[in-house]
Structures are given as structure tokens and as C-alpha cells.
Amino acid sequence: MLPVVDARPCPDPAHALPRVRREDVGEREWLDWRWQLRHMLTTADELAAVVNLSAAEREGLAVSRHLFRTGLTPYYADLMDRDDPACPVRMQAIPRAAELEIRGEELRDPLGEDHHRPAPCVVHKYPDRALFLVVDRCAIYCRHCNRRRLVGGDDPPTRDELEAGLAYLRRTRRIRDVLLSGGDPLLLSTPRLDELLGKLRAIPHLETIRIGTRIPVVCPMRIDDELVAALRRHHPLFVNTHFNHAKELTAEARAGCERLVDAGVPVGNQTVLLRGINSSVRSLRALFRGLLRMRVKPYYLFQGDTVIGTDHLRTPVDAAIELYAGLRGWMNGMAVPHLVIDAPGGGGKLPIGPTYLVERRPDAVVVRTYRGDLVEYPEARAGDCAVAYDRVFFAGVPDDDDREGSAEVGEAGGVGAIDPPGAPAPAPSGAPGPAEPAGRS
């Protein structure tokens, strides 16, 4: 297997309550990402060393242990409001007893990933891209996690499983893009991550590689010169991270993100809309404007997935659309992400939002502006939208293979969605053809 860096919460009972507050730790230790991971806070006693736990938080910590583990870095714990349990950082990291209230419509696998796994460690739902689950540990176990069934550090993928996943990616030539996730891929040691990226980059039909990580949010000191030097060897490579509140936009987080951007690694952000955490216009505007100042592109704003025990954190769809109406038009368009629902069961990401198209007529459409005014937009008189030059520009280029990702699992002896012998390979990187923007697979 490709091992995670040797950094575990300290198991020695004599060190059950290590010094984890910033003021009690030397700067050299604090800025050492391995130290941060070795001293992750996992118990009520450890958390009580940094915040005044409320009765609801203590109850949540006591009753949720068998559902999903607790763990966060001292750095992220240092962002918590010591006295206010409504702190958005505390609400993301410290469980509440409401996690035990599991509703009938909630799912263990809300995105239907387990039904689209044609090979170990690979989820292949969309035609041209796949998810590669390379590690099962995180630097924080978010209370809204949609993959809590898989993460926790108890069952890491083996080297054989990773090699089987790589073999599937090699032989399935319609996959143009792969997203590394888990767990958090940046918890792999840098040499192991470099090795894995090199194997992916050697696959001719893989045009882009993406890494999904929360490290810039919860352990930004991990983004050191060694890591950045390794990542820049594998362009085109993109990083998508997961800031949910402006309280997380620290000087350290900014430095980590800008280090990536300076190395030519574009950074996007995927926020989850969380009730009581960021479900206000002011909160979202501050977050997205702050991300742009850090040169991080707000990419997705997700409705919370229907994962078990998270109903108390989900925002009603009507409320989400109303919040989004307070962004579109009121802010720089680059600061406005796509508002989407990741359809339960594997249906994919579906954009939702306010309705701006009010009326359609043969001669015009009526649209509503972001301020509520009605405006007519005259229709074009010609309707033929064919692009004549396509026959020249795309001469000899096969059409995209748009079969659903791993729908063929069970066929051909259960080997999965493999391109048949003689199937044309996608155009190589740099050849004419449409490109898919980076995002959550």
C-alpha cells in the first residue's frame, strides 16, 4: 500500500492530554504538520483543554462515538470560539446528539458511489472522469461528511487495491480526468503521493488530475516546499478544497493556498451550505469574497447530502435558493459558485437557483434582474445554430464516449466499464476538443 505518513494521535496514556493550545506550544512545533497530525484532538477531555464544552457537545461526544469518530488538528481547534458553542468551527468538528436522529430518507451512501465501483478504490459515475480513493484518513472528521462510511483510518487501501484501481484507469480510455480523494490524499507522504501522481500522469488518455483536500483549511502547514515541488511536476493538476466559513480564512490558510497557486496549481473551493453555520447572506458573501482575495475560486455551493445523522445541518432548498439570490448580481461573478444538489443515489450534480426567466414569446423573453426589475430581451430571428467549421476542426476526431460511468459493471465477467477492443481513444491532452472544468467527481 501507499502508506499514510506516520502521524497518529499520541497513544501513550501518559500523554493523554498533551499541550495542544497554540500559546503552550513552540512555534517550530506548531508549524510542523506532522506534529499537528500526531496531536489530533479526539476526546472530550482533549477538546475541553481548548474550549468550554457545552452540555450538548459533551452529550454529542459521548453518544456519537459508535457512529463516526471525532478528530481535528490543534490548528483547527485554535480557530474555535472558546465560549460560544454556536461557533461555526465548533459546529463542524464537535458532534451533537442530533447525529443519532436518523431519518428514513437518509442514506449510508448518499451519492450512490458503492454502486459505481468497477475496481477497488475507483468510483466511476460520469462518462469521462473517475474518483480514485487513495487513503481513508482525514485531518478532520467533519460532522457533515458524506463519506463517513469509508473514512476513519481503520481500513486503508492496500498497494494491490491501488494497483488494481490504476489498471482500471489505464484500460478505460474514455476517462480523461481523475479526482484523488478519500480520506485526504495530502495525508500521504510526499514521496508516496509523488509516486502515485507519476503513475497517473503516465496514462496517455488522462488529461487532468485533481486532488480533493481539506488540508488548506485544517492543516495548511502541510503545504510545504517539498509538497509543492512534487505537485508541480504533474501538471495539469488542480486542487479543490473545502472552506465553509470566513473564520477559516486565516493567514496560514492564505499562505498555503497562494503557495499552490504560485506553483501553477489552480485552487477551487467547494462549500457545503450548512444550517446555522454559513446559512446567511452575510456569511456566504464574506466567505466567497475572502476566497477570491486568497486567489481561490468559489466553485460549488452544495446542498447538504442526505447522509445519515445530518438532517440537523441541512438547509431547506427554498432557503438555499433565497440565499443564492443574495449573491448572484450582488457580487463579482467570479465570487459566485454554482449552487447544486448532488442527487441522491448517484444522479449527479444538478444546478438549482432563482428563476430569472419569467416569460418566453416568439419575439422576446422577459427576464427578472437581480434587483427584481422586469426586462425584455429580443429573440434572435435566425434559429439555425449549427457550427459549419466543426466538420473541419473536428475532422477525424471521434465523438465523446458518453456511456454512463460504470453502468456496465457485471458485463464481460464483471470487469466494469472497459472500452471495447478497437474503441478510439479520446483526443490526447492538447488536441482539439472540449475540456471539462475541474470539480467534485
Following DSSP, what letter does each residue of 110-138 receive, concatenated? TT-GGGS-SBTTEEEEETTEEEEE-----
**237-241 and 208-212 beta bridge pairing:** parallel
pTM over 0.75: yes
Each residue of 12-24: pLDDT tens digit?
444 456 688 998 9
**237-241 and 267-273 beta bridge pairing:** parallel
Locus of grid cell 496517455: 204
Residues 288, 270: Cα–Cα separation, whole Å? 10
Each residue of 144-177: pLDDT tens digit?
888 878 887 778 899 999 999 999 999 999 999 9
CATH 3.40.50.970 matches 113-354: no
Greater model confidence, 33 or 411: 33
Question: What mean pLDDT, rounded, does the chain reach?
Answer: 88
Each residue of 36-65: pLDDT tens digit?
999 999 999 999 999 999 999 999 999 887
Q: In the predicted model, is pLDDT for residue 101 greater than 90?
A: no
Task: Using alpha carbons only, give the angle 193, 196, 200 rounded to the nearest 5 degrees.
Answer: 135
Please check whether residue 438 is in contact with residue 208, taking contact to mean a CB–CB distance below 8 angstroms: yes
Task: Say whether 224 sits in a helix, a strand or coil.
Answer: coil
Quick one: pLDDT at residue 346?
80
Enumerate the domain spans of the chain.
13-100, 113-354
Name which of 15-29, 86-100, 126-140 the model is least confident about.
15-29
Quick one: pLDDT at residue 248?
98
Direct distance between the N- and C-terminal alpha carbons of the chain, in angstroms, rounded to an integer:
23
Greater model confidence, 32 or 2: 32
Q: In the predicted model, is pLDDT for residue 7 greater than 80?
A: no
Each residue of 170-224: pLDDT tens digit?
999 999 999 999 899 999 999 999 999 999 999 999 999 999 999 999 999 999 9
Share of the chain above pLDDT 90, in %: 71
Name which of 5-19, 123-137, 149-163, 263-277 the model is least confident about.
5-19
Q: In the predicted model, is pLDDT for residue 111 greater than 70?
A: yes
Torsion-angle region of 183 (φ positive above 0: left; ψ -120 to 50: alpha; else: beta):
left
pLDDT band at 431 (very low <50, low <70, confident <90, very high): very low
Q: Where does residue 380 rank: exposed (0-12), middle (13-18), buried (19+ CB within 10 A)?
A: exposed
pLDDT band at 6 (very low <50, low <70, confident <90, very high): very low
